[in-house]
Chain A
Amino acid sequence: MPSIRQNPHPDSLPDFRNLGVVARALVAVNLLGLAVALASEPAWTRALDAFVQSTVLIEPPLLACLAVLYATAPLVGRLPYWSGCALVVALALALAAATQAALGQFADAGRGRVLLFAAVSATTVLAYLTLHRRAYSPALAEARLQALQARIRPHFLFNSLNAVLALIRKDPRRAERTLEDLADLFRALISDGRNLVRLADEIALIERYAAIEQLRLGERLRMSWELDHAPVDALLPPLLLQPLLENAVYHGVEPGTGIGDVLVRIERRGDRVRMQVENPAHAVGGAGEVSVRAGNHMALDNIRERLMLFFDAEAKLDTRIENGRYRVEIDIPYRTGRA
């Protein structure tokens, strides 16, 4: 899914290879089973017994159904919405019937009840996932993504312009290069935040950003890059790394009087892409600093939400402080395709 606004169709089938979709289906069907047990046996303990017993007939078809859908996701995904739904319900019915035939003697439920439960479960889960998708519908998600569009700190813009002004007389060529870098950065900032970009492009962007910071901060900023194993064809939301690097400089290098080491490490690990940015950890500044420096979580929350919109539960963002170093780590599924 190279873009978040992919479907002209109002509704589409869920992505059955998405961890969030699978997890939601599992939880929803089991909750339904519990509800049925509670409805038939008002006493708690007996209801739980009934539920445990019924799992014999619920789990095998549920897991089988999810496994089949996982395997055939690309094919099923191509079907029109309603045919797809019908197919999913039929699959659930067939698997439930097969299970009842094989394991029926272990549970106290007739074929009719099992099939009814399978049909209701499949329909409910599909309806729930469709509603969930609508809540994150392309239009809404687009609006949210636009609102979440990464913003560069004005502080950075004005300090950079100031640095360029200082270069114009002494080193006009470097001033030109820096303005070109700034232009690229701002082009990326005002570009469409809804399409995935190639990792190679994001790396080029943060290298330009780092060049500008280097000009401002001189030897106080020491950048290291570990990009040899970076999967440059991986797709990721735009401006995912730039805010992390900006945070690293703002919180890790600017408040210190000495040299600040900032490390960017990107590598592929199997079907995952791991991106880390590290900087020296400073205690949040002294008087007058706190109010302005305390913007860190906003940027991280913003990235977290964008990761959620693009990857649902399949992306992770962690932060930790270790040996005086602050590290942000983003872990996303390795996907390639048309950007």
Chain B
Amino acid sequence: MSAAATELLVFIADDEAPARARLKELLADLRGEVATSVAGEAANGLEVIERLPASGAQVLLLDIQMPGMGGIELARHLSGLESGPAIVFVTAHNRHAVEAFELNALDYLMKPVRAERLAAALKKARATGPARKERLERAASGAREFFSVAERNRIVLVPVGEVLYLKAELKYVTLRTSAGEHLIEEPLISIEREFAERFVRVHRNCLVARAAIRGFERVAGAEEEEPHWNVVLEGLAERLPVSRRQWPAVKSVLPETKE
């Protein structure tokens, strides 16, 4: 192995320029102990999503409190990458506030970061690799703002607010927005639980955005099919069947609907 290959590629994400500069200084100071090079920098969550996957970074130093997207949600999206980075969270909050983030389940450094702590965290990150997805999900304190589709070297974010419906098909869930479709690999049941306020289940395999529901149509059953209701969504020609079992819960979304 060449010397360059043993260098740990580090990505720095912090919305404050002085904080990024400080971390770079510390990494340079630690060169003798842990050889690193900076693979990239970002000042907010969306920039990280944009730049990190192609940078080949092995470790991400991630400020938890960044504009655009919270650190934990960002980490959850990154965990979908095939060779995602190990993440070292950094925060200026004290222990008490860290508990509010439910971050105590994960490793983190407190600002101002000390060189020794940073070196230890880098070594540990190199040894343990990327954070486990389940652990990040446990640490999350609220619903995400985006769904993410991880491609080999890229992460596509779909704002949760743009999703009209989600439909489970075999291994995948199809996200439908007014612009198109995306496939994600998440069980529908956990999505239903996470976004209970936003989506309502209309069928065993389908969740619909409450805000997008415009009305219901009665469908007279042809031949052996039973008559049932279809849900009409904003800006979508497609109709989705409502199962008999879900009908009572679904119809209450639009209070003026009458049978």
Contacts and interface: CB of A to CB of B under 8 A. Distances in A.
Interface of A: 154-155, 158-159, 161-163, 165-167, 169-170, 215-218, 220, 254-257, 285-292
Chain A interface, DSSP helix/strand/loop, else mixed: helix
B100 A218 contact: no
Contact of A286 (B16, B44, B145): B145
Interface string B15-29: 111110110010000
Given A155-B92, A257-B44, A162 B111 contact: yes
Contact of B100 (A158, A161, A170, A292): A292
B18 A215 contact: yes
Interface in B118-148: 140-145
B140 A155 contact: no
Given A162-B111, A166-B22, A287 B16 contact: no
Given A158-B92, A166-B19, A216-B18, A288 B70 contact: yes
A287 B92 contact: no
Nearest to B67: A257
B21 A287 contact: no
A158 B18 contact: no
Contacts of A169: 25
B187 to A, nearest CB: 19
A153 to B, nearest CB: 9
Given A154-B93, A257-B44, A286-B69, A159 B19 contact: yes
Q: Chain A CB within 10 Å — which of B22, B43, B140 has the most?
A: B22
A16 B4 CA distance: 81
Contact of A257 (B46, B70, B71): B46
Nearest to B76: A287
B94 interface: yes
Interface of B: 15-19, 21-22, 25, 43-44, 46, 64-65, 67-73, 92-94, 97, 100-101, 110-113, 140-145
Contacts of A162: 16, 18-19, 22, 92, 111-113
B16 A163 contact: yes
A255 B67 contact: yes
30 contacts: A154-B93, A154-B94, A155-B92, A155-B93, A158-B111, A159-B19, A162-B18, A162-B111, A162-B112, A163-B16, A165-B22, A165-B112, A166-B18, A166-B19, A215-B18, A216-B16, A254-B15, A254-B65, A257-B43, A257-B46, A257-B67, A286-B69, A287-B143, A288-B73, A288-B140, A289-B70, A290-B141, A291-B141, A292-B100, A292-B101
Contacts of A158: 92-94, 110-112
B206 to A, nearest CB: 24
Contact of A288 (B17, B46, B92, B141): B141
Nearest to B194: A287
Given A155-B92, A162-B22, A257 B141 contact: no
A23 to B, nearest CB: 42
Nearest to A258: B67
B81 to A, nearest CB: 20
A290 B112 contact: no
A286 B73 contact: yes
Given A155-B97, A254-B67, A291-B101, A286 B19 contact: no
